[in-house]
A and B are shown apart, each in its own frame.
Chain A
Amino acid sequence: MHAHVTRLADIFAMLGGVILFLIVMVTTTNTGAFILDRFMGLFGQDVPGLPGYEDFVQLAISGAALMFFPYTQASRGHVAVDLFVANAPMPVKRVLDHMWLTLTAAIALFLAYWMVHGMLESRSDAAEAGVLGWPIWPFYLPGIASMVLWAVVSVSQIFGDARYA
């Protein structure tokens, strides 16, 4: 199970990466248009930028950032202070590790639960991005799925990650 969950976290991370590349392409196009506009302005020509560019970046990064969480967990990348427990006996390290993994899963599910409420509220309020006018609620979905996967990865590490076995 642990291997499958890690693979899924990897897929989420790659999808987050694809979103980052979309941001790169949109931002580069917009900046290119801005520079061209300054240049063409000398000849009385206008080159428009991408309307709602900042809205797009905000909405897109909300998905990408949260989609990285499960892979960070799968890679044990969420930073912790090693110094004081480094020389503790192995059983102590294992108990602490399992406690924190359980707590991490609980916090991830807590965040997922409240994000579902946030998404429903955003939908009932018909909240939209300022310039683009896109509805905001669908952009909660990658985050909710990522929080659930983050919890599953944490639980799978209790049983499948032999770090302190």
Chain B
Amino acid sequence: MLDPITIGVVGLVVLFVLLMLRMPVGIAMILVGIGGTYALSLALPYVRFVPYIRQFKSLLWENVANYDLSVVPLFVLMGYIAAEARLSSDLFKGLEALLSRLRGGVAMAAIAACGGFGAVCGSSLATAATMGKVALPELKALGYKDRLSAGALAAGGTLGILIPPSVALVIYAIIVEGSILKMFQAAVIPGLLAVLSFIGVIAILVRVNPSLAPEPRPMPREERNIALKRLFPVILIFGAIILGLGFGLFTPTPAASIGVFLIGAYGFALRALTGEGLNMAGLRRALQATAITSGMIYLILFGAEVLKGFFTRSGLPQALSEWAANSGMDPMLVLVIMLIAFVVLGCFMESLAMILVVVPFFWPTLIALNGGEYVTAETAAYGMDTESLKIWFGILALIVVELGLITPPVGLNVFIISSLAKDTPMSTVFRGVMPFLGSEVIRVGLILMIPALTLTIPRLIGG
């Protein structure tokens, strides 16, 4: 008879095999969770399968009837309505008006717009797709080389996962039982750092190779005035959401609801006044896209709940954390290995699924290495208490997860941009993304070495 740890390991292997055979992630998680628990019930007298199966009477309903999780479809809806209401293009044109005097300025505006759009959209893929549609044709028409424009937009899209509000941050906070608000606050400086470093990369690239971008052509005065006028309400709405969240004026679900309300109302008003903006067809498209994304997320979340039950009963996460704590390995080295594992898995796994499968294994290990749940900052191996470790590790994990979106062989953002820029092959986009990938590695190094970059804002605001 197999011991429970071995059953846990076999379950993990079976999960990855099923995923490689293209089984939907949520279905694979449910199947392995139920099958694994059945195997455990054969090996362990205290694991009883029939009472376990009866839990499904309420497990799914209780999983979705969750106030904290209601923020997920609301943030998703907010992003899609903003795109349909043309706020994304107003944001890009307004930033272009400000930056078009610089060589490479329009590509820089695209990066800044990705960052801004990330503030109303919790998904990297949606950010890349929306801003790609808006900015790629303009960059091409102005004479930007495909390598620069496609690379910048694929990299810029990754900002959606980190810049709050982010669906991935919400889910990470729920897994580790942390504060969603503090995670949002912690992501602000790393997010801004990413925007600035990507803009810096463009500045360096066009200086080294001026043929990548055309001569700067400032926007005509009249067009500039219109663009800036339309940028103002966008900044006002996005700013209200970000500042309201950041300063704790409202919690995530009210912030997302107010965001949907304001963006929807602005979109319809714009339509009535100018003929552009949100109409019923756009609203329907936004709802359909929200249904697809939210359905996908909720199924993975439920699958992760079923899978977690199996792994916890098998004792695998606890065994892993005990092994790590007794191995004598340097805690920082273990953390770096974990981050590399995220990058490798991110090359072929969907980011949310990866967070849900991997974090429950890594998090107990980190707590054990740090010196236990109730350790103080003075005696902790990472120099911080558990709450701070939660925040620091979460931000690091999310940044490396987003690297998976722009690294070969899959790189979902690269795939999206390549399909939007029809005559730009994947290889060109991958080449274009490389300098941005380099800046990301530097950013991860900085945040690893200087935890204050993530911890300062939550400490200042939260006390």
A residues in contact (CB < 8 Å) with B:
10, 13-14, 16-17, 20-21, 23-25, 27-28, 30-31, 34, 54, 57-59, 61-62, 64-69, 71-73, 75, 77-85, 93, 96-97, 100, 103-104, 107, 110-111, 114-115, 117-118, 121-122, 139-140, 143
Contact = CB atoms under 8 A, between A and B. Distances in A.
Contacts of B25: 78-81
Contacts of A57: 67, 70, 253
Contact of A23 (B19, B61, B70, B298): B70
Given A13-B287, A14-B287, A65-B298, A118 B257 contact: no
State the 7 A-B residue pairs at the shortest beta-carbon distance, nearest first. Answer: A72-B295, A118-B57, A27-B257, A68-B295, A17-B287, A62-B65, A13-B291
Nearest to A17: B287
B358 interface: no
A31 B250 contact: yes
Contact of A81 (B20, B31, B53, B296): B20
A69 B65 contact: no
B30 A72 contact: no
A25 B410 CA distance: 40
8 contacts: A61-B64, A66-B298, A68-B291, A79-B26, A80-B19, A80-B25, A83-B348, A97-B22
A127 to B, nearest CB: 9
Given A81-B25, A139-B61, 9 more contacts: A23-B70, A58-B70, A61-B65, A66-B60, A79-B300, A81-B348, A103-B31, A114-B60, A115-B57
Interface residues of B, number: 54
Contact of A58 (B30, B67, B287, B290): B67
Contacts of B348: 81, 83-84
Query: At the interface, is chain A mostly helix, strand, loop or mixed?
Result: helix
B148 to A, nearest CB: 27
B454 to A, nearest CB: 28
Max count, chain A CB within 10 A of own CB: residue among B56, B57, B65: B65
A61 B22 contact: no
Contact of B258 (A14, A28, A58, A75): A28
A115 B73 contact: no
B396 interface: no
A98 to B, nearest CB: 12
B287 A69 contact: no
A134 to B, nearest CB: 12
A25 to B, nearest CB: 8
Interface of B: 19-27, 30-31, 53-54, 56-61, 64-67, 69-70, 73-74, 77, 250, 253-254, 257-258, 260-261, 284, 287-288, 290-296, 298-300, 348-350, 353, 409-410
Contact of A143 (B20, B54, B64, B353): B64
A69 B299 contact: yes
Contacts of B257: 23-24, 27-28, 31
A77 B60 contact: no
B24 to A, nearest CB: 4
B278 to A, nearest CB: 13
Nearest to A74: B292
Contacts of B70: 23, 57-58, 61
Given A78-B296, A115-B57, A115-B60, A58 B66 contact: yes
B31 A61 contact: no
Contacts of B290: 17, 20, 68
Nearest to A129: B65
Contact of B61 (A14, A21, A77, A115): A115
A84 B64 contact: no
Contacts of A64: 73
B350 A72 contact: no
A79 B29 CA distance: 12
Contacts of A13: 287-288, 291
Nearest to A54: B67
B38 to A, nearest CB: 13
Most interface-central of B27, B61, B300, B350 (chain A CB within 10 A): B61
Contact of B254 (A17, A31, A103, A143): A31
Contacts of A77: 292-293, 295-296
A82 to B, nearest CB: 7
A65 B64 contact: yes
Contact of B22 (A59, A80, A139): A80
Contacts of B258: 27-28, 31
Contact of B21 (A28, A96, A107): A96
B60 A20 contact: no
Given A14-B287, A61-B70, A24 B261 contact: yes
Nearest to A104: B27
B237 to A, nearest CB: 14
Nearest to A56: B67
B254 A84 contact: no
Contact of A28 (B261, B288, B353): B261
A85 B24 CA distance: 13
A96 B21 CA distance: 7
Contacts of B410: 82-83
A118 B59 CA distance: 9
A77 B287 CA distance: 14
Contact of A100 (B24, B30, B54): B24
A165 to B, nearest CB: 17
Contact of A107 (B27, B54, B295): B27
Contact of A69 (B57, B59, B250, B295): B295
